[in-house]
Amino acid sequence: MSSAVVSGVAPGSPADEAGVRPGDELLSVSGHPVRDIIEYRVLGDEAEVELELRRGGLEFSVEIVKDAGVPLGVEVDSALFDEIRTCDNHCEFCFIYQLPPNLRRSLYLKDDDYRLSFLYGNFTTLTRFTEADLERVVDEGLSPLYVSIHATDPDVRSDLLRNRRGAMSLRWLRALLDEGVEVHGQVVVCPGLNDGAVLADTLCGVLDEYPELADVAVVPLGVSQFNTEDRMRPHTRAEAVAVVETVHAARAAFRTALGHPMVFAADEYYLLAGLPFPPAEEYGDFAMHEDGIGMARAFELELTGASDGAIGVQPGFFAWVDGAPASGYRAPRGEPTATTATPGSGVDASGAQFVTLRPSRSAPVGILTGVYGAQVLTPLIDALDRDDVRVIPVENRFFGGNIGVTGLMVGEDLARVLDEEPEGHRYLLPDVCLSRGRFLDGTTPDDLPRSVEVVATDGAALRAALGPAS
C-alpha cells in the first residue's frame, strides 16, 4: 500500500487544526491510496478532505473542511509514496556510476521516473514508460517533461544507453508530442561516440521527427576521477569548438524551418572552446537555465540589474532524493535561500574554546564558486570596479576529473580553500551546492573553518548580498 510520512505541519493550517502531526503515516486521501505528491495535491485541494492516518500503530481518520484550493498545510517526506521507477539503462556516462563510495545512500539511486521529470526537471529516457503512463500524463496535464535523447539513430542510442529498449523508446516521445505535452530534450555528448557526424545526424533527426520539442540542450559529459569506463573522457578544446559549430549550424536550420532555433549548447562548451557566449536575447526566456543553458548571460542580466529579480534558480544536485517539494508541483528544492550567516563556536584540537564572530557587513567579500563559475564571474565582478570583492575559485578535488561546476562543490574542498583565506572577511556561498542544508559529501556549512553566508544562486541575490561599495 502506498504511504508517506508527515514531515511537517504548518501552524494554524487546516491539517494542524484537524490534529495531524509530524510522524503520522498518510495512508489515503478521501478514500484514495495516493501514489505521489501529484495525486496528493489534486485530492487535497478539494473543499472536503478525509485523511486516513496511522500513528503509533493505530489507524484513524480526520475530516477537514476548507475552501477549495487552500493547502492542507502538510509536508511529506518524499515526492513519491510508492516505489520509484528506477533506471534500467547502464549508460557509461551516468554520473551516479562515477560517485565515490560511502556517500549517503540516496545519492546512488538511479531514477527514470516521469513523475520526477515533471516535479523536478529530471531527465527520463522513456525506456520504462508505458501506455498507462502516457494516459496519466495526458489526463492530469503533467507538463512539461524532460527527455534524454542522446541520439536519434536507434543503434547508436541503444549503444549509449546499453539497453536494447533504447532503440525504440523514443516512440513515446513522439506520442507525448502528439498529445500536446511540452517536452524539453537533452543530448549528452560523449567524444567519439555521439559527437561529430552523429551529433549532426541527431539534430537533423530532431528536426525531421520531433519538431514540436520546446528546445534541446546539448551538454558535455562530466568525467570524475572515479570513472571506470574506458570510452568516457573529457572533450578536447577542438572537440568543444566542433560541437559549438555543429549546434550553431543546426540553429540556423531550425530557425529557417520552424521560426526558432530550438537547439542550444551548454555554457560549459563555450568555456571549453574559449568562445564568447551568445547574446542574451538568443536564449529567449531561458527555459533550459537549469540544464546549464544561458546561465552566464542570465547571471549577467541579474547582477547588473538589467532583469527584474532572478531569471532562473539552479537547484542542488540530486536534491530530489532528500525530500518532497514543500508546496506546488515544481517548488524549489532544498532549504530556503535567504541570506544567512553561520558563525560557529566550539573546542579546537588543543581543547581551547573558540568563537567565530559574524564578519562586519563592510568587510571584504569573497565569492566562493566552482572553476567554471569563476570564469564567468570574474569579468562581471571586475566590471563592478570594486576592490573589496574577489572571486575565489574552488578546485573540485573531491570528484576530480573535469568536474568544475559550482553545483558539485563539497564541504571538503571548500574547507581546504577557506582554510587559506583570512578571517573576518565575508564569504558568500551559492545555495546550488546544498541539498537540505548539506553538501554532497555529507558536511554542512557549519563544518567550514570560516563563517559563510548562503545566498541564492542568481545574480540578483548576489547583487543584494554585496550591497553598496564600502
Distance CA 55, CA 67 (A): 27
Q: How far is CA 73 from the centre of its chain?
A: 25
Convert the pLDDT of each residue in 442-462 to its tens digit. 999 999 999 999 998 889 999
CATH of 4-76, one of 3.40.50.300, 3.30.230.10, 2.30.42.10, 2.40.50.180: 2.30.42.10
Cell of 192: 567519439
Contact 1, 82 (CB under 8 A): no
Topology agreement, domain 4-76 and domain 95-293: no
Q: Is the dihedral of CA 232, 238, 240, 242 positive or negative?
A: negative
338-358: b or e for each residue (b if 16 or more CB lie within 10 Å)? eeebbeeeeeeeeeeeeebee
For position 327, what pLDDT does the model report?
39
* Domain chopping of the chain, boundaries: 4-76, 95-293, 340-466
Summarised one tens digit per residue, pLDDT across range 163-220 is 999 999 999 999 999 999 999 999 999 999 999 999 999 999 999 999 999 999 999 9
Take residue 315 and report the three cell numbers written for it: 537547484
**Tens of pLDDT, residues 2-44:** 788 999 999 999 999 999 999 999 999 999 999 998 999 899 9
When the candidates are 3.20.20, 1.20.140, 3.30.420, 3.10.150, the CATH number that belongs to 95-293 is 3.20.20
* DSSP calls for 250-279: HHHHHHHHHSS--EEE-HHHHHHHT-PPPP
Nearest to 50 by CA among 61, 40, 39: 61
pLDDT averaged over every residue in the chain: 88
Q: What is the DSSP letter of 86?
A: B
Calculate the alpha carbon distances from 230 to 87, 88, 161, 192, 294 in Å: 22, 21, 15, 12, 31
pLDDT value at residue 312: 61
Ranges of H-type helices in 210-236: none
427 neighbors 368 (Cβ within 8 angstroms): yes
Cell numbers standing for residue 179: 498529445
| Percent of the chain scoring above 90 in pLDDT | 72
Q: Compute, in degrees rounded to 10, the torsion defined by CA atoms 367, 371, 374, 376.
A: -140
